[in-house]
Structure 1
Amino acid sequence: MKRLLEFFGFLALVQGTGGLAYEITGRLRWGVTLRWSVLDGYELYASIALIVLALALFAAAESRGTG
């Protein structure tokens, strides 16, 4: 379970960072937040939320201990 939480945390971190990098620089358009039409206009907030979710998943994985 710990590995699964870390995996999903890594995915959320990569997607959130990619969306945030695009919103700041305007280059390298990639990431799931830019592809969902439901998030039009809210990509920055969704990217920040993904990064916060990643941190929460990493914390949950650490609290699980080994295994």
Structure 2
Amino acid sequence: MKSVLGFLSFVLIAGGISGLLHEWFGTGFRLFGFLRFLSPDGYAIYTNIVLTALGVGLAAANASLKRGRSS
């Protein structure tokens, strides 16, 4: 489960950041193009911020799981 959380957090963080870069600079920063289908029209920036925050939360949960097992 820890590896799944790590993978999901990476996908969400990288997709959210690449989506934000694409929205702000308008260039080819679409690393994870499938994430654009999650945002309604006009809310792409907010959706990318939420995806990045969710990825950071999953990374924190993954780190807490690793810390809880080693203690």
- TM-score where L is the length of structure 1: 0.84
Q: 1:2 to 1:17 in 2, by over 3 A?
A: same
4+ residue runs over 4 A deviation: none
- Cα offset, 1:37, TM superposition: 7.4
Give yes or no for contact 1:33–1:43 (8 Å, CA) kept in 2. no
Could you tell me which residue of structure 2 aligns to residue 32 of structure 1? Answer: 34
Query: How many residues align structurally?
Result: 66
- Cα offset, 1:15, TM superposition: 0.8
- Structure 1, unaligned stretches of length 5 or more? none
Which one has the largest radius of gyration?
Answer: 2
Could you tell me which residue of structure 2 aligns to residue 12 of structure 1? Answer: 12
Could you tell me which residue of structure 2 aligns to residue 54 of structure 1? Answer: 55
Q: CA RMSD in A?
A: 2.0
- TM-score where L is the length of structure 2: 0.80
